[in-house]
Amino acid sequence: MRALVIFCVIYLSACTSQTPYVLSTRWKDATQPAPMDYADPAAWSALPSRYDAADLVPRKSSLKDEQANAKADVFFIHPTIFTYKPENEYVWNASMTDQALNTRTDSSTILNQATAFNAAGRIFAPRYRQAHYQAFVTPYKEDKEAALDLAYSDVKRAFDYYLAHENKGRPIIIASHSQGTVHATRLMKEYFDGKTLGKQLVAAYIIGIATPKNTFTNIPVCTSPNQTGCFVAYTTFLQGYLPPWHPGTVTELASVNPLTWSTDENFASKEKNIGGVSYGFKYVKEFADAQNHLGILWTNTPYVPGRAFVKLKNWHKADINLYYQNIRENAVLRVNTYLSQK
């Protein structure tokens, strides 16, 4: 029981998440939900024009939401929250009007991840017909592509709406996690990489998916804290652990240490961690250490009471939470650097 309590404390919302449900229906045989108009505020998880989860700051912190005075924008694409047994007829791609799912999304990823950027820019986070977790484990390539294509079509429409009605030439941060990073990567290739809009890119924080260094032609990996026009990527695992898909040798994957903002493999101790966010949206100083290793990010178990009871090897859900305040301050630094160069 004690171990379970501690696990809940440091592994964020894991205790409210069930083992991902396996769909028995093929994508082509499933009913797909209708799209929403992004002129409707209900089509967004977060907008700077209203009070929502993206405006909050962690408990036990002195942080403030700075969106009202921000000179940049953040387009945040959330990860997969649709992992459970579907509760309606939409099984492969979620309905954007599913209020239960929307509540789960807002109280998890928007609260714990998108808020890391509310000191650097105004946050725009679209709802979208997110693909079910099954899209990442199905043996049918056509089902995966169809589900992710539908989801991306919404992200693209949301971004088009944002550009047409909200951007007005402002600098842009692209931020994402997991499934959101799949869509963010595609969006960056289509809108930023070698395109005029690339001049407005402060940086991209495309986290939680193994991303090759050469993913883009004209957008490099960030290798210093104040570099702009670049991208940050990493996936977090326990120190000493290599996931089953890893070849065990040198890879061409991008991994930027969020405590040093370097791609080298030097160890960064927890003392470099200004603050992370634990379960219950609680701010914790010196939460975790970090070290790049063969294209992934290693961390020791977060430094909280009872850490010896936790045996987790994959820290995917906590990719952003572990290094929350360092990401927050770095996003501000990159925006200020970008503005100083204009």
125 strand-pairing partners = 46
What per-residue confidence (pLDDT) applies to 288?
98
* CB contact at 8 A, 275 and 298: no
For residues 159 and 309, the model is more confident at 159
18 confidence band (pLDDT: 50, 70, 90):
low
* pLDDT for 317: 96
Nearest to 113 by CA among 71, 64, 176, 187: 176
Angle between helices 179-191 and 141-162 (to 10 degrees): 60
**Which element (helix H / strand E) includes 230?**
strand 230-232
pLDDT class of 19 with cuts at 50, 70, 90: confident
Q: Residues 91-115: what's their mean pLDDT?
A: 98
- Angle CA 10–13–18, to nearest 5: 125
Q: How confident is the model at residue 5 (pLDDT cuts 50, 70, 90)?
A: very low
Nearest by Cα to 10 from 324, 327, 321: 321
* CA-closest candidate to residue 130, choices 189, 74, 177, 73: 177
* Residues 243-268, mean pLDDT to the nearest whole number: 97
Residue 12 has pLDDT above 80, yes or no: no
| 205-223 tens-digit pLDDT | 999 999 999 999 999 999 9
- Rounded-to-integer distance, Cα 245 and Cα 241, Å: 12
Model confidence pLDDT, tens digit, residues 37-82: 999 999 999 999 999 999 999 999 999 999 999 999 999 999 999 9
Mean pLDDT of 308-337: 97
Q: What is the pTM of this model?
A: 0.95
Instruction: Kindly list the distances between the CA atom of residue 118 and the CA atoms of 5, 23, 57, in Å, as whole numbers in the listed order.
Output: 30, 36, 9
Query: Mean pLDDT, to the nearest integer, of 264-290?
Result: 97
d(CA 28, CA 324): 40
pLDDT surpassing 80 at residue 146: yes
Backbone conformation region of residue 137, classed left if phi is above 0, alpha if psi is from -120 to 50, else beta? alpha
User: Ramachandran region of residue 306, left (φ > 0), alpha (ψ -120 to 50) or beta?
Assistant: left
Residue pair 189/155 in contact by the 8 Å Cβ criterion: no
Mean pLDDT, the chain, as a whole number? 94
Q: Where are the domains of the chain?
A: 2-340
At 173-196, the pLDDT tens digits run 999 999 999 999 999 999 999 999
pLDDT at 342: 79
CB proximity list for 136: less than 8 A, separation 6 or greater: 80, 144, 179
For 216-236, b/e burial (b = at least 16 CB within 10 A) is beebebbeeeebbbbbbbbbb
